[in-house]
Amino acid sequence: MPGETLETGRQSPRFLWLYALAWAGGAIAYVPFLTILLPIRITAVAGDENIRWLAFITFSGAIAASAGNILFGWLSDRSRSRRPWIATALVLNVGLLLAMTLVVAPLALLGLILLWQLALNMMLGPLSAWAGDCVPRSQMGLLGGLLAFAPGMGALAGVLITVPGLAGPNGRIALVGVLIVACVAPVLLFGRPLTVPVAGDAAVPESESGGGPDFARRPFVAMWLARLLVQIAEAALFAFLLIYFRSIQPGISESFIARLFCLVLVAAVPVALTAGRWADRTQRPFFPLAIAAALAGSGLVVLSLSGGVDRAIGGYVVFGLATTVFLSLHSGQTLRVLPRARHRGRDLGVFNLTNTVPSLIMPWLTLALVPSFGFTGLFVLLALLAFTSATILFLLPRN
């Protein structure tokens, strides 16, 4: 990106905060829509066939999101400019959301969802690569901590648009569009990042990795696999949390689960900021990730042993805090292990597969384990995945 060359080794706080706000806008673009507004819209246009259409649209949308993130990340690499892609995608995103209020047929809604996923990832792909263009290695921990605001903002947006009497179904979609623009536009208009010429190139040369396992000599692969394992566990809890708690206490309400989920996301922000700053100061970028993955596994162990709702809440709080911190910090530290800066957008698109592939894997794991072994069997397997992720990260070289 054009701009004054960075000489102090640190990016301006204004850009970092504006970037974090834009990243939160990305979360606002999909969290309330996919979790609240889309199911309502599908029910309105598909009636009794809503479950079948929701499953089909979700599956197809995940594929479109995966392809779009890689494609537009690569195109922004080729154009050597991120801002025009983000700005164009912002307009398309809001326009397609508003268009969904007009469709009356499930097939038309499917087509708009696929286009919307492409537009969303036209924004998210270049936006994620822009951080690698502008944020030096010494601030990637701080960047990861700031990105922890995004999940909480997405959840809070869902709470806001569903305030009784605030807006009808179509008005809620319009309100989401307003929130997206309010969050993403400031960094496009006022963000003036200083240039970081070499940020994000391969961080751990093979010659420095010693004689450890093969994946330890390839931090890109190790970080990809570590995130995928944690994301599978996170996706399973996200999808089946309410069902799990009702298997323990049938009368537990959706409102209670929503508040618990939101509380965990908000509480994770100061933890992620503290851990990210510590990683920057000590130059140990992977250690907080390994600890967070291990804590996520520990929370799942507690959930597998839970005999009552209080212990289950405690296990979920540990798991939820740990995974939110892990995913936020991982997004920042990923930038230091990308093999080539000139392919940053494309490679981050490959990393984005760790966000979409779990949605394709997780349902089959659940169907295979829960009917025979209950949630205990599922949580034990997910704990093993989290502990494996922690082991991979512990074995990475210190820097």
The predicted pLDDT at position 216 comes to: 42
pLDDT of residue 72: 94
CB atoms within 10 A of CB 56: 15
User: Taking the C-alpha atoms of 99, 153, 190 and 326 in order, what is their torsion angle to the nearest 10 degrees?
Assistant: -120
pTM: 0.80
What is the reported pLDDT for 40? 80
CA distance readout (Å), 369 to 31, 249, 301, 380, 381: 28, 21, 16, 10, 9
212 and 40 Cβ atoms separated by less than 8 Å: no
> 3-state class of 366 per DSSP?
helix
pLDDT at 68: 93
Regions of the chain where pLDDT drops below 50: 1-3, 5, 198-217
Per-residue pLDDT, 8 = 55
Could you tell me the domains of the chain? 13-190 (1.20.1250.20), 206-394 (1.20.1250.20)
Distance set, CA 346 to CA 19, 20, 68, 120, 199 (Å) = 20, 21, 10, 16, 16
